[in-house]
Structure 1
Amino acid sequence: MASASTEKSSKCTQLPADIQQVKDTLSEVVHPLSRPAINVIPDHVLVLTGTKSKKQLSRKKRAVKKKALTRQNRIDMGFYSLPTKSLKYADMLALHNLWQGYMKEHLGLDAMERVPDVADPQYDGFSKLLVKADLHGAKVLVTRSKCPSLVGISGIVVIDTKNTLKILGEDDKLRTVPKSECIFVIELGNLELTVVGKHLTIRPAERSVKKMKNFMDLDL
Structure 2
Amino acid sequence: MATEPTHHIAESLLARAHSPNTANTIFRERVKHRPLLLRPTSPDPALNARSQRQHARLQKAKLQRKSNKPKPLSAKQKRALCIYDIPKPQRRYAIYEPLHRMWCDYMRQILGLSEGNKTYVDANAAGPMLVSADYHGALLEVSRSRCISRVGLKGFVVKDTKFTFEIITAADELKVVPKEHTVFRFEVPFAGGEGEGEERKPLVFEIQGGQFEARAPDRANKKFRVHIDPDL
What's the counterpart of residue 87 of structure 1?
A: 91
| Counterpart secondary structure, 2:158 | strand
Q: Alignment partner for residue 114 of structure 1, among 116, 119, 125?
A: 119
Does residue 132 of the first structure (1) align with residue 137 of the second (2)? no
Mapping 1:55-66, distance limit 5 Å: none
Q: Alignment partner for residue 196 of structure 1, among 186, 200, 208?
A: 208
Decide whether the 8 Å contact of 2:113 with 2:119 is kept in 1.
yes
Cα distance in 1 for residues equivalent to 2:107 and 2:70: 33
What's the counterpart of residue 168 of structure 2?
A: 168
Cα distance in 1 for residues equivalent to 2:99 and 2:71: 27
Cα distance in 1 for residues equivalent to 2:142 and 2:206: 10
Does residue 103 of the first structure (1) align with residue 115 of the second (2)? no
Cα distance in 1 for residues equivalent to 2:79 and 2:119: 40
What's the counterpart of residue 158 of structure 1?
A: 158
1:91–1:216 distance in 2 versus 1, CA, 3 Å = same
What's the counterpart of residue 184 of structure 1?
A: 184
Cα distance in 1 for residues equivalent to 2:118 and 2:92: 29
Does residue 209 of the first structure (1) align with residue 214 of the second (2)? no
1:202–1:91 distance in 2 versus 1, CA, 3 Å = same
Cα distance in 1 for residues equivalent to 2:218 and 2:71: 17
How far the C-alpha of 1:100 sits from its partner, in A, is 1.0
Structure 1: give runs of 5+ residues left out of the alignment: 1-65, 118-122
What's the counterpart of residue 146 of structure 1?
A: 146
How far the C-alpha of 1:109 sits from its partner, in A, is 2.0
Decide whether the 8 Å contact of 1:92 with 1:137 is kept in 2.
yes
Mapping 1:22-37, distance limit 5 Å: none
* TM, length-normalised to structure 1: 0.61
Q: CA RMSD in A?
A: 2.5
Q: Which has the larger radius of gyration?
A: 1
Structure 2: give runs of 5+ residues left out of the alignment: 1-68, 190-201
Q: Which amino acid aligns with 1:160?
A: D
1:211–1:145 distance in 2 versus 1, CA, 3 Å = same
How far the C-alpha of 1:173 sits from its partner, in A, is 0.5
1:100–1:131 distance in 2 versus 1, CA, 3 Å = same
| Counterpart secondary structure, 1:157 | strand
Cα distance in 1 for residues equivalent to 2:142 and 2:176: 12
How far the C-alpha of 1:115 sits from its partner, in A, is 3.2
How many pairs align?
150
Cα distance in 1 for residues equivalent to 2:119 and 2:84: 35
Deviations along 1:14-67, one digit per CA (max 9) or x if unpaired, are: xxxxxxxxxxxxxxxxxxxxxxxxxxxxxxxxxxxxxxxxxxxxxxxxxxxx99
Q: Which amino acid aligns with 1:216?
A: I
Q: Which amino acid aligns with 1:166?
A: E
1:215–1:107 distance in 2 versus 1, CA, 3 Å = farther
Cα distance in 2 for residues equivalent to 1:148 and 1:113: 37
* Moved >4 Å (runs of 4+): 66-71, 73-79, 110-113
Query: Identity of counterpart residues, as a percentage?
Result: 35
Cα distance in 2 for residues equivalent to 1:174 and 1:68: 32
Decide whether the 8 Å contact of 1:199 with 1:215 is kept in 2.
no
How far the C-alpha of 1:69 sits from its partner, in A, is 6.6
* TM, length-normalised to structure 2: 0.58
